[in-house]
């Protein structure tokens, strides 16, 4: 397939690489990041989109997605699919899908889970919202970049699933970090803590696959001085999206609310900006109760 790929950052670059390795013809555009090997550079988003069967976007947030979609959609072929894999608010996903439909372009929101490790290994989970027709066209690409694609419903349903998943992720990372900090104070060796929890009822993706303690568990951003990975400010973005959605839907999410407040303080005044979201562990190590 001819693919346009917009946003080749931490996630987009390895996803695009896997598409190239599977024999697809990928043209990319990013305002800062270099093109990975095998991806042809276009000087604009529209340039990457004009001949594409599918255009994939992997961008920081909904405002940027909407701005890029304004440029992309008029440049796309009729019947081509705009597949947004970024994590954005449900309203932006639906607005882009409406705009695409008016221009004769199919749209699907397909945010991902699995982090940069999953993006590199081609083992992401895609959660998709859009028509059966759009899902069927993009499914072979999901199969290259991921191990699972769930068609969650109409436009916006993928983002709804993602926001709920990441609320669990944020809460769980905080719980994992505070448990390590407590274990330290109780004199428990971190490797022993990992060996127990990773095979006990406290196990989780944040403990088993993305352990926030350096030198413990599989390789993770903690082993690379907490360089992202998944940046704390992106976690904060997702937690805010969950709280915005909870407010709009009148859902009670007290743990999600507290996680959003903790990440907000971490990013805005405790040195978390530019760090991986697992750097909550050194933050808890330093914390003194007031």
Catalytic residues, which ones? 162
Q: Tell me which of 3, 4, 5, 6 binds ligand NAD, using CB under 6 A.
A: 6
214 binds ligand NAD (CB under 6 A): no
Give CA–CA dist 236/231, Å, rounded. Answer: 9
| Among 105, 249, 283, CA closest to 180 | 283
Nearest CB to ligand NAD, comparing residues 124 and 181: 124
Under 8 Å between Cβ of 20 and 39:
yes
Instruction: For the segment 239-268, give every residue that binds ligand NAD (CB under 6 A).
Output: none
Site string for ligand NAD, 61-100 (x = CB under 6 A): ---x---x-----------------xx-------------
Q: How far is the CB of 116 from ligand NAD (least distance, A)?
A: 5
230 binds ligand NAD (CB under 6 A): yes
Phi, psi values for residue 119, rounded to 5°: -65, -45
Cβ-proximal residues to 166 (8 Å cutoff; 6+ apart), any chain:
87, 113, 235, 238, 239, 241, 242
Count the site residues for ligand NAD by CB under 6 A: 25
Six-digit token string for 80: 């081509």
7 binds ligand NAD (CB under 6 A): yes
53 binds ligand NAD (CB under 6 A): no
- Can you tell me whether residue 1 is helix, strand or coil? coil
Q: Which range in 10-18, 131-139, 153-161, 179-187 contacts ligand NAD by CB under 6 A?
A: 10-18
Buried b (16+ CB within 10 A) or exposed e, 60-88: bebebbbebbeebbebbeeebbbbbbbbb
What are the residues binding ligand NAD (CB under 6 A)?
6-12, 29-33, 45, 58-60, 64, 68, 86-87, 112, 115-116, 230, 234
């Amino acid at each position: 397939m001819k693919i346009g790929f917009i946003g080749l950052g931490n996630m987009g670059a390895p996803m695009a690489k896997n598409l190239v390795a599977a024999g697809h013809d990928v043209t990319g555009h990013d305002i800062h990041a270099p093109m990975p090997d095998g991806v042809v550079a276009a000087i604009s988003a529209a340039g990457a989109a004009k001949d594409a069967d599918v255009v994939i976007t992997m961008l920081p947030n909904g405002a940027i997605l909407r701005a890029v979609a304004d440029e992309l959609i008029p440049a796309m072929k009729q019947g081509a699919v705009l597949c947004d894999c970024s994590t954005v608010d449900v309203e932006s996903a639906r607005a882009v899908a409406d705009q695409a439909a008016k221009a004769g372009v199919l749209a699907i929101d397909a945010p991902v889970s699995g982090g940069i490790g999953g993006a590199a290994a081609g083992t992401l989970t895609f959660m998709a919202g859009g028509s059966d027709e759009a899902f069927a066209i993009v499914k072979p690409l999901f199969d290259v970049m991921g191990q699972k694609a769930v068609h969650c419903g109409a436009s916006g349903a993928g983002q709804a699933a993602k926001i709920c998943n990441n609320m669990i992720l944020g809460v769980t990372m905080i719980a994992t970090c505070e448990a390590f900090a407590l274990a330290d104070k109780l004199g428990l060796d971190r490797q022993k803590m990992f060996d127990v929890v990773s095979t006990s009822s406290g196990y989780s993706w944040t403990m088993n696959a993305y352990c926030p303690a350096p030198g413990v568990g599989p390789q993770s951003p903690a082993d690379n001085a907490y360089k992202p990975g998944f940046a704390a400010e992106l976690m904060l973005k997702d937690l805010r999206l969950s709280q915005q959605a909870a407010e709009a839907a009148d859902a009670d999410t007290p743990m999600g609310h507290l996680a959003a407040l903790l990440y907000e303080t971490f990013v805005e005044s405790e040195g978390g900006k530019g760090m991986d979201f697992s750097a909550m562990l050194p933050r808890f190590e330093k914390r003194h109760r007031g």
